[in-house]
A = this chain, B = another copy of it.
Amino acid sequence: MKVSAQEFTASAAPLPAALPAALADGVFPAGCPSRTVLDHITSKWGVLILLALSEGEQRWSDLRRRAEGISEKMLAQTLKTLERDGLVTRTAQPVIPPRVDYSLTGRGYELSALLVPLVAWAFENADDIIKGQP
C-alpha cells in the first residue's frame, strides 16, 4: 500500500518537533561526528540510493537506473560510504556474470523511514517551489 505525502504530513509529527536536547543553545557543533553522518545521508546521491533501497534489495544495475543520471564512479563511491556507515549491506555472488545485491541494514531502514517522507514532500512541493507559487 502506498501512502501519499499528504496523508503522511497530515497524520504524523504534531508540530513543532524538537531538536536534540544535547544541542546547547541550539548550536550545532562544527567538529561533531553527526556533521559527517549528516553529509553522507543528505548527499546528492546518497538520498536517492537510500530511497531506492527502501523498496527492497536491489542490484547495481537497478540502482543505476533508479538514481537516474548517476555515474558509475559516484554510485560506487556512494555505496562504499553507506556501507562503511553500516547503512547498506553488499552481497556478492561468485557467479559469472557477477551478481551483487545491495540492501538496507536495520539502521539504514530506520533512516529511510525518515528520508522517504522528506523526499515525498520535495516531490509534491517541487513544482510550486520552482515556479515561485505560495
Chain A residues in contact with chain B, CB under 8 A?
1-6, 8-9, 12-23, 25-30, 32-34, 36-39, 41-44, 47-48, 51-52, 54-55, 65-69, 84-87, 104-107, 109-130, 132-134
Q: Which residues of B contact A6 (CB under 8 A)?
A: 106
Contact A15 B111, beta carbon cutoff 8 Å: no
A1 to B17, CA, bound (A): 9
B8 and A119 contact, CB distance less than 8 A: no
Report the minimum CB–CB distance from A113 to chain B (whole Å): 4
Q: Are B33 and A126 in contact (CB under 8 A)?
A: yes
Determine whether the beta carbon of A2 is less than 8 Å from that of B38.
Answer: no
The interface residues of chain B lying within 8 Å CB-to-CB of A127 are 33
> What residues on B are CB-neighbors of A84 within 8 Å?
132
Q: Is the CB of A109 within 8 A of B8?
A: yes
Alpha-carbon separation in the docked complex, A119 to B3 (Å): 19
A-B contact sample (16 more), CB < 8 A, given A42-B42, A111-B121: A1-B18, A5-B109, A8-B17, A8-B106, A9-B110, A15-B109, A19-B51, A26-B55, A28-B48, A28-B51, A34-B123, A36-B126, A39-B44, A41-B118, A41-B122, A114-B114
Smallest beta-carbon distance A39→chain B, Å: 6
